[in-house]
Amino acid sequence: MVIGAKSPVDRRRKALERVNKELSRGKYETALSLVKQLKGKHGCLSAFASAKLLPKKSPVIDTLGELIDSVSRSFESVSAEANSVRNFQEHKAITSPSEEDWFAVVQHESGHFLVGYLLGVLPRRYEIPNLEAMRDNVTGRVEFVGFEFLKQVGAANQFMKDDVDLSVSQGYISSKTLNNFSCVILGGMVTEHMLFGYSEGFYSDVVKLNNVLQWRGFTEMEKAAHIRWAASNTVSLLHSYNEARVSLAKAMAKAKPIGACIEAIESAISRHYM
């Protein structure tokens, strides 16, 4: 043993401090580059981008089929309410949040964070509102490096509202980005179903995914098939890495920086999966 030598965990934590620094400066691509180096050259971030999505025509895992069906139905149900935005927002505003509601928000956002990380999509910031903020209708969120195309989708949606030909507003992102985004978006809803057996229906998640699929020109049939495929992958990931998500949620509940949240994931995976 070399006296004074740092352990792999110490080196990882030190490197993640650099990632935090770059993220705080808004240098997201630099932070992502550092994370990729830590995974590749140094091998101390084994979980980042470690997940592989199932092929589109793969059969549903029998033991998880009921959960996948439940998530798909929830998505369809919330989508059906897409024309009642004002009613939905008023309902959320007058609902008095409790500690249980706050706990659900933490778990929901941890699902987004973990799925993104496992798929190689780096979270760049997140927010877990306190109860007072929740009373003002502030919701939780996780933002990711690589999902900047959402700004284009927002502009396209404005075209649609102005009755511009839909073909004008159709855009392009790679299939990999679309698939990753779809699974990340469903991460919160899937986590709720796994923990509580139902979802409160986070409207903004469903709207974002529907808008992106519309932007890409998906038909209703294509959309339904894609969402079920994404739900299958997301359920499989979160079922397989539940201990890591629990550790991550504890870190997020304490408003730990991104690097500490990553450390929570990596440490949990080292303990439970290796």
**DSSP, res 95:** S
Task: Find all residues with CB under 8 Å of 36, minimum gap 6, and list them.
Answer: 48, 49
Domain ranges for the chain, please list them: 48-86+96-273
The more confident residue out of 200 and 42 is 200
pLDDT digits (tens, 9 = 90+) for 157-193: 544 444 444 444 556 789 999 999 999 999 999 999 9
Residue 200 has pLDDT above 80, yes or no: no
Domain 48-86+96-273 is in which class? mainly alpha
132 vs 148: CA distance, rounded Å: 30
**Integer CA distances (angstroms), 239 to 195, 226, 234, 256, in order:** 11, 20, 8, 24
Which pLDDT does position 78 carry in this prediction? Answer: 85
Structural tokens at position 86? 């004002």
Which three-class secondary structure state does DSSP give residue 31? helix
Q: Provide the percentage of residues in the chain whose pLDDT is more than 90.
A: 64
- Tally Cβ neighbours within 10 Å of residue 114: 32
Query: Which residue has tokens 């739900």?
Result: 231
**Integer CA distances (angstroms), 164 to 51, 157, 159, in order:** 39, 10, 5
pLDDT digits (tens, 9 = 90+) for 72-120: 999 988 888 765 554 444 444 446 889 999 999 999 999 999 999 999 9
